[in-house]
Structure 1
Amino acid sequence: MWSSEHLDLDAYLAHLGYEGDRTPTLETLRALQRAHVLTVRWDTLDSFLYRQVRLDVPSVQDKLIRRSRGGYCYEHVVLFAAALEKLGFRFTAVSGRVQLGADSANPRPATHAMLIVDLDGTRWLNDIGFGDSPLEPIELVDGGRSQADPWPYLLHWQDITHGSPGWAVHHRRDDSKGPEGWVVRQVFTETPQYPVDYAVGNHFVATHDRSPFVTRPYIQRRGTDRYDTLDALVWTTERPGRDRVTETVGPHEVPKLLDDVFGIRTDPEEASLLVSRLRELDSVRLRPEPTPR
């Protein structure tokens, strides 16, 4: 189903630096998730520059592995699903709604891709495409936790959008305002999703005028003790137990920043296009509002 016959598994695992066992066990899944989150890059540049993101395995593999560019959740999950399928794992794809900054009474579209992996009667949430993703699977039980790094994650079965029951992924940051520092990051149900469903969601995310990935570039890099984002021209670095550091960069600085901090290298033509688009975006944001009459 996930076109694993088109995946060069050896090349993917080599990119991750993974040399471990290939049997479909929890230990293998844990090692693969950690390696994928820390190695495969995350960006929305294709949506911002071209309004086109391909989800076929050869295209995703070429982009994320051979060219070491970044992608967002649909691309990451398509690649990871093909690898799991080829390794013999059993799993179900699902879609979630990102809640950060959203009013649950007016939910965002379900455009976040995830997998639920079945292992010996136990199910594990595999969320490798968020950018700021857990470094290990989370057992799909009420109260399931990931504490593999300084930023913990928590699962709860609760009322989600419009009072319907479902799963909520909570995360905790040093500046979180929720109870005990927990904030709902995304919610989801267990309704199975298929490649065609992801193609529909991806079309909205990559092309729609109201998609945040179309209106500005967003880049993330997750480390074991550091998390960097570039939101348009605002670069933010977070470290556990430290104050968040934020600075604004100029459009001409972005290609080098992508290479130095995010591990994403653009070719000269693409770098020039990116700088040009960022200058346009910056000029629109700085344009004064018209005087009311």
Structure 2
Amino acid sequence: MSDQQEHQAAFDLGAYLRRIGWEGGRRADLATLRGVHLAHALSFPFENLDAVSGTAPSLAPGDLMAKLVRSRRGGYCYEQNTLLRLALEALGFTVSGLAGRVVLGTGSPESRPRTHMMLRVEVPGEPRPYLADVGFGAVGALLTPMPLVLGAESEGGGRRHRLTRLPHEGPLELWLLEAHDPRTAEWTGQYAFTLEPYTGQDFQVFNWYVATHPRSPFTRRPYLQRTTPDRHLSLDGTRFVQTGADGTVTEREITDEEEVRRLVGEEFGITVPEGIALLG
């Protein structure tokens, strides 16, 4: 049995679709891709609690099923996009992994390593592949996939995105995903990437580094995100931020361990495992 066959054997498509509440079609078409992507994005919170505890989360299909599907936890990009890839391949799509440099918060893509995982999805009957990504922990994250076309703009789940290209010195074109900010009417870069495919072994290395390196921001403080149909929630250390669909932002500081654990349970739907101290 090949690695892919073993992975699919450990993955339960029915349980996954029940977890995200998807009752639509199971054909490998654009409607299914869009529907499953959005349902996933609205069902799983982004969270780094394993990394906060000093553990690199497993990317094995059985472990992803146990954590995200059966235990109703969340995860970060490697977990969530690996899980989505398993689902899409089970539905009949052809999927490959992509790696990007997060540019949000910096003016130079070269200042950060390629640590973000995304997916390139081939849709039968469609002339262009699609960019899919359910694991970007930011208010500008994709909620629905978008065609990999220069200058393409898409709107899904109330968010707008476009793809442009950046100057580059390498042999491969450098793409940039931008999100539209409704407060300023400006476009903000999210991450830069090439179309070079990356394998599961590549993401295993990235995952270990991000979850265990002492300089990784994910090892220093809790970082959680959740998107609902009418708002986006973020917990970055002690800072809790709510962003409305119109871009309205409210925030407050939380400095009590009991209060932050209660908030994580009520707002993000996660029961914090014993032994993990959120506030140090």
> In structure 2, which of residues 266, 271, 274 is the aligned counterpart of residue 260 of structure 1?
266
How far did 1:6 drift? 1.1
Q: 2:100–2:116: 8 Å Cα contact kept in structure 1?
A: yes
> In structure 1, which of residues 97, 104, 108 is the aligned counterpart of residue 108 of structure 2?
104
C-alpha separation between the residues in 2 aligned to 1:182 and 1:115? 22
C-alpha separation between the residues in 1 aligned to 2:237 and 2:59? 24
> In structure 1, which of residues 143, 158, 171 is the aligned counterpart of residue 166 of structure 2?
158
Alpha-carbon RMSD across the aligned residues, in angstroms, is 1.9
> In structure 1, which of residues 176, 197, 203 is the aligned counterpart of residue 202 of structure 2?
197
Gap regions ≥5 residues in structure 2: none
Match of 2:41 in 1: 37
Q: Per the alignment, in what secondary structure is the counterpart of residue 85 of structure 2?
A: helix
Q: Per the alignment, in what secondary structure is the counterpart of residue 261 of structure 2?
A: helix
Q: 1:5–1:86: 8 Å Cα contact kept in structure 2?
A: no
Gap regions ≥5 residues in structure 1: 281-293
How far did 1:225 drift? 2.4
1:274 matched to 2:277? The reply is: yes
Match of 1:135 in 2: 143
Deviates more, 1:30-39 or 1:137-146: 137-146
When Rg is computed on C-alpha atoms for both structures, the one with the higher figure is 1
Structure 1 residues 161 and 80, CA gap change in structure 2 (3 angstroms): farther
Deviates more, 1:150-159 or 1:82-91: 150-159
More helix by share: 1
Q: In structure 1, what residue type is equivalent to 2:152?
A: G
Match of 2:91 in 1: 87
Match of 1:215 in 2: 220
Q: In structure 2, what residue type is equivalent to 1:34?
A: L
C-alpha separation between the residues in 2 aligned to 1:87 and 1:18? 13
Q: Per the alignment, in what secondary structure is the counterpart of residue 165 of structure 2?
A: strand
Match of 1:283 in 2: none
How far did 1:40 drift? 1.4
Q: Percent identity?
A: 35
Q: Per the alignment, in what secondary structure is the counterpart of residue 53 of structure 2?
A: helix
C-alpha distance after superposition, 1:154-177 (max 9, x if no partner): 11133258897311000122445x
C-alpha separation between the residues in 1 aligned to 2:128 and 2:109? 32
Q: 1:37–1:128: 8 Å Cα contact kept in structure 2?
A: yes
Q: In structure 1, what residue type is equivalent to 2:277?
A: L
**What does 1:12-27 align with in structure 2 at a 5 Å threshold?**
12-27=16-31
Q: Flag as ranges the 4+ runs of structure 1 deviating above 6 A.
A: 161-164
